[in-house]
């Protein structure tokens, strides 16, 4: 008898815990929100916003789950097909179209566009373009980062050159000027003058770099409808040849297979997003930013965009959508502007944004960043982007040597990627 008691007791405890678990489960909702930042300052800010939401919705808690960007696509898809999917999270522009077309994103129109308090008209329409489909609103961009030129002031000084921000002010900031400066710096200081975005035009950021180059020359990667490859146009070829010459004729630009980095002081200029300024906090040199240089087609701004979405598979879709609306409302966008350039015109044009980023001077933000956001063209997106990416990069690998033939490579690349554009 006595021996059997513990078992019964345990069974009772178990039953009780199940019951309490069930009642708790009815009352408390935990939203799982996925992000790719592990930055403590970012997470502290997000947790602050979640705490504010909980004040008005005491039964809702929000957990932010970090997935490193390199694994984001993979893990997000796996989690969404699992039994405990994410409720909401960040979405980079490269995945937006595939995920949207696959029907994984929740329509947010009732809590955003159709809610007068949300002030939907305040959002830049151009920046919203990816997410407005079939009369629905499938995401709210929270960060529109223009591609900028970061430059090392110390190296420009050593080479006795005018810095890009000064050239920009004098309307003399062109790709030709950039190329000449890079060459002079390499010749006088023996440090590379220019480095592609993330040093990875040769690899994962091929398209980021090609977008900035080809658009300044009047070309592009593919057309807006995503049906035609434009890399084999004369304009795009001129742009790609220009870069190829910088690497293999001038020798001024970090070549493939060399691990040099702007933040280590081993390249004088690079292309980067605004958020990259966070990583330059402790470098040993003085640096500044300028907008992308003008090409034969004038000045074209290229912006990368990250958005907040709610997922179709969420167990609590109404709450998930409501939280997305909350985190992107006027007040929270102001809070996030310290790290992420917003698409709310009211915040962008307010002094709040100019003074928000401690790493970048307010004038530079106003002259280089704000206009770039308002007039920017998005990085290329495509529903078949993962396949285009692999096929296109493999074709471009043949270009990265001194004998690389731009015409042949762009023809091959277009052939390879157009296979996925029908």
Partner 1 sequence: MISNLQRENLPSGMSLKRRDEIYGYLFIAPQMIGFLLFVLGPLIAVFVFSFQDRNLLLGQITFAGIDNYQAMFKDALFTKTLQNSLIFTAGLVPLNVLGGLFIALLLSGNLRGMIFFRAIFFLPVITSAAAWAIVWRFLLQSESGVNTFLQAVGIDGPNWLQEPNWAMVSVIVTRALKGVGINMIIFLAAIKNIPQDYQEAARVDGATGWQVFRRITMPLLAPAVFLVTVLTIIGALKVFDTIFLMTNGGPSNGTMVLVYYIYYQGFQFFETGYASALSVVLFLVMFILTLIQWQLRRRFVFDEQE
* Residues making contact with partner 1 (CB under 8 A): 73-74, 77-78, 80-81, 98-99, 102-104, 202-204, 255-259, 386-387, 390, 393-395, 397-398, 400-401
CB of 255 to partner 1, least distance (A): 6
Question: For residues 187 and 363, which CB has a smaller minimum distance to partner 1 in the complex?
Answer: 187
CB of 229 to partner 1, least distance (A): 18
Question: For residues 103 and 358, which CB has a smaller minimum distance to partner 1 in the complex?
Answer: 103
CB of 207 to partner 1, least distance (A): 15
Question: For residues 77 and 230, which CB has a smaller minimum distance to partner 1 in the complex?
Answer: 77
Question: For residues 53 and 99, which CB has a smaller minimum distance to partner 1 in the complex?
Answer: 99
DSSP structure string for 310-326: EBTT-SSHHHHHHHHHH
Question: For residues 104 and 145, which CB has a smaller minimum distance to partner 1 in the complex?
Answer: 104
Q: How far is CA 8 from the centre of its chain?
A: 57
Kind of pairing between the strands at 136-137 and 140-146: unpaired
Q: How far is CA 20 from the centre of its chain?
A: 43
H runs (alpha helix) in 114-174: 125-128, 153-158, 164-169
Question: For residues 156 and 396, which CB has a smaller minimum distance to partner 1 in the complex?
Answer: 396
């Amino acid at each position: 008898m006595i021996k059997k008691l513990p078992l019964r007791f345990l069974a009772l405890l178990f039953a009780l815990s199940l019951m309490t678990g069930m009642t708790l489960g009815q009352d408390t909702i935990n939203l799982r929100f996925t992000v790719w930042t592990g930055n403590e300052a970012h997470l502290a800010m997000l947790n602050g916003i979640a705490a504010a939401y909980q004040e008005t919705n005491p039964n809702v808690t929000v957990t932010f789950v970090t997935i490193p960007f390199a694994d984001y696509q993979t893990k997000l898809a796996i989690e969404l097909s699992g039994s405990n999917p994410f409720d909401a999270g960040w979405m980079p522009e490269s995945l937006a179209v595939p995920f949207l077309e696959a029907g994984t994103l929740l329509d947010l129109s009732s809590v955003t566009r159709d809610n007068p308090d949300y002030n939907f008209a305040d959002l830049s329409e151009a920046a919203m373009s990816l997410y407005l489909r079939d009369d629905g609103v499938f995401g709210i961009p929270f960060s529109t980062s223009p591609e900028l030129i970061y430059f090392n002031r110390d190296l420009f000084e050593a080479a006795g050159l005018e810095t890009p921000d000064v050239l920009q002010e004098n309307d003399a900031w062109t790709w030709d000027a950039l190329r000449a400066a890079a060459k002079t710096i390499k010749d006088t200081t023996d440090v590379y003058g220019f480095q592609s975005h993330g040093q990875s035009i040769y690899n994962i950021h091929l398209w980021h770099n090609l977008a900035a180059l080809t658009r300044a020359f009047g070309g592009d990667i593919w057309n807006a409808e995503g049906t035609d490859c434009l890399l084999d146009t004369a304009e795009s070829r001129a742009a790609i040849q220009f870069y190829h010459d910088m690497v293999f004729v001038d020798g001024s630009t970090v070549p493939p297979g060399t691990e040099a980095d702007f933040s280590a002081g081993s390249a004088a200029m690079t292309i980067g997003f605004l958020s990259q300024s966070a990583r330059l906090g402790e470098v040993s040199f003085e640096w500044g930013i300028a907008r992308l240089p003008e090409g034969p087609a004038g000045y074209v701004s290229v912006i990368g965009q990250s958005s907040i979405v709610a997922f179709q598979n969420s167990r609590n879709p109404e709450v998930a959508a409501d939280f997305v609306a909350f985190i992107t409302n006027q007040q929270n966008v102001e809070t996030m502007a310290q790290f992420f350039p917003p698409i709310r015109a009211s915040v962008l044009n307010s002094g709040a944004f100019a003074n928000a980023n401690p790493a970048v001077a307010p004038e530079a933000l106003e002259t280089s960043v704000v206009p770039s956001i308002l007039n920017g063209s998005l990085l290329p997106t495509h529903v078949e982007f993962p396949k285009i990416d692999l096929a296109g990069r493999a074709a471009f690998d043949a270009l990265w040597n001194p004998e690389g033939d731009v015409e042949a490579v762009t023809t091959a690349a277009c052939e390879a990627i157009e296979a996925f554009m029908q």
